[in-house]
C-alpha cells in the first residue's frame, strides 16, 4: 500500500515538473511586422515654394503668386525743370508794349508772383537789350551763385553783343522807376515784344529771347541758353 502511494506521488511530481518546465519555457509570440510610425510631412523646401516678393521660400504648401500691376508714372521721378518754351514771334505778341513803357524808351514789367522784374533797354544796365532780376532764385546753370539777399540777388541779361550773362546785383537795374508807379504785370500766357526781342510770362518763369539766345528765370529756374 505504501509502495502504491509512493508511485502516485512520484508521478504527480514528474507531471508537475513537466508542466512547470513547459510554462517557464513559453514566450509571447512576436510579430515580425514593425509597429506603425506617425510623423509630420516634411515642410517644402525653398525649391518647392514659389519665390514671392523676392523671398527664399515659405513653410507650407506652395501658393500661386498673384499678378501685381504697378501703374506707370505720369512723369519720371528724376524729371528736371520745365523745358524752355520755343521762341515766340511777332504773331505771338498779345500785349501792347506801350502799356509798359517808361521815360527814355525803357519798358518794364513784373511777373504775377511779384518775384521777377524785367526791363528792355534799362538805363541802369548800359549795353543790355533785356534783362531780369528776382527776389529769390537758384544758382544759374553757368555756375553763378548769389546770396538771395537785398544787396546780392540773382539776375540775367542779354547783352547787345548777343551774349547771355547770369549776374548778381545789389540794386534795382530792371525794376523800373518807382516814380512812374507800380511796374505793370505781364500775366501768365502773355508775350511782349520790343524791337524784335520777346519775353513770355508763364507759371514756370519768365523767358526772354534774342533770336535763339536767351534765358528763363523764376524762383526755381535760372537757365541761360
131-150 pLDDT, tens per residue? Answer: 999 999 999 999 999 999 99
Cα distance between residue 8 and residue 11, in whole Å? 5
More confident residue, 75 or 159: 159
* Grid coordinates of 202: 508763364
* Grid coordinates of 177: 522807376
More confident residue, 208 or 84: 208
pLDDT of residue 82: 54
Percent of the chain at pLDDT > 90 equals: 59
CA dihedral 107, 114, 215, 85 (to 10 degrees): -100
More confident residue, 203 or 71: 203
- Residue-wise pLDDT for 12-46, tens only, equals 444 444 434 443 343 444 444 443 333 333 333 33
The CA-atom distances, in angstroms, between 131 and each of 29, 31, 116, 200, 212 are 114, 108, 10, 13, 16
Per-position DSSP letters for 63-129, written without gaps between them? -PPPP--PPPPSS-TT--SPPPPPPP-GGG--S-GGGGEETTTEEEEE-TTS-EEEEES-TTSTTEE
In the structure, what pLDDT confidence band is assigned to residue 177 with cuts at 50, 70 and 90?
confident
pLDDT of residue 181: 75
Cα distance between residue 3 and residue 5, in whole Å? 5
Q: Which residue reads 500785349 in cell numbers?
A: 95
For 22, the 3-state DSSP assignment is helix
pLDDT of residue 173: 96
Which letter, b or e, does each residue of 76-115 get, where b requires 16 or more Cβ atoms within 10 Å of its Cβ? eeeeeebebeebbeeeebebeeeebbbeeebbbbbbebeb
More confident residue, 85 or 190: 190
Lowest mean pLDDT among 26-30, 63-67, 116-120: 63-67
Query: Taking the model in full, what pTM does it have?
Result: 0.64
- Residue-wise pLDDT for 72-108, tens only, equals 333 333 334 457 889 999 999 999 999 999 999 999 9
Cα distance between residue 42 and residue 61, in whole Å? 10
- Domain boundary assignment for the chain: 90-224
> Please, what sign has the CA dihedral across residues 184, 185, 187, 190?
positive
Amino acid at each position: 500500500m505504501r509502495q502504491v502511494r509512493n508511485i502516485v506521488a512520484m508521478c504527480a511530481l514528474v507531471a508537475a515538473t513537466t508542466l512547470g518546465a513547459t510554462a517557464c519555457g513559453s514566450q509571447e509570440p512576436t510579430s515580425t511586422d514593425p509597429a506603425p510610425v506617425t510623423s509630420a510631412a516634411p515642410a517644402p523646401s525653398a525649391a518647392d515654394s514659389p519665390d514671392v516678393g523676392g523671398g527664399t521660400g515659405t513653410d507650407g504648401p506652395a501658393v500661386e503668386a498673384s499678378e501685381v500691376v504697378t501703374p506707370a508714372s505720369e512723369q519720371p521721378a528724376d524729371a528736371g525743370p520745365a523745358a524752355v518754351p520755343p521762341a515766340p514771334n511777332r504773331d505771338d505778341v498779345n500785349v501792347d508794349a506801350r502799356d509798359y513803357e517808361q521815360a527814355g524808351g525803357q519798358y518794364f514789367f513784373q511777373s504775377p508772383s511779384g518775384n521777377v522784374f524785367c526791363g528792355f533797354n534799362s538805363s541802369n544796365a548800359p549795353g543790355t537789350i533785356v534783362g531780369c532780376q528776382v527776389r529769390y532764385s537758384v544758382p544759374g546753370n553757368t555756375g553763378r551763385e548769389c546770396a538771395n539777399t537785398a544787396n546780392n540777388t540773382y539776375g540775367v541779361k542779354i547783352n547787345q553783343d548777343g551774349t547771355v550773362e547770369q549776374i548778381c546785383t545789389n540794386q534795382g537795374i530792371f525794376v523800373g522807376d518807382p516814380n512812374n508807379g507800380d511796374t505793370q504785370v505781364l500775366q501768365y500766357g502773355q508775350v511782349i515784344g520790343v524791337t524784335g526781342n520777346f519775353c513770355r510770362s508763364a507759371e514756370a518763369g519768365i523767358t526772354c529771347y534774342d533770336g535763339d539766345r536767351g534765358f528763363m528765370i523764376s524762383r526755381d529756374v535760372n537757365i541761360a541758353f
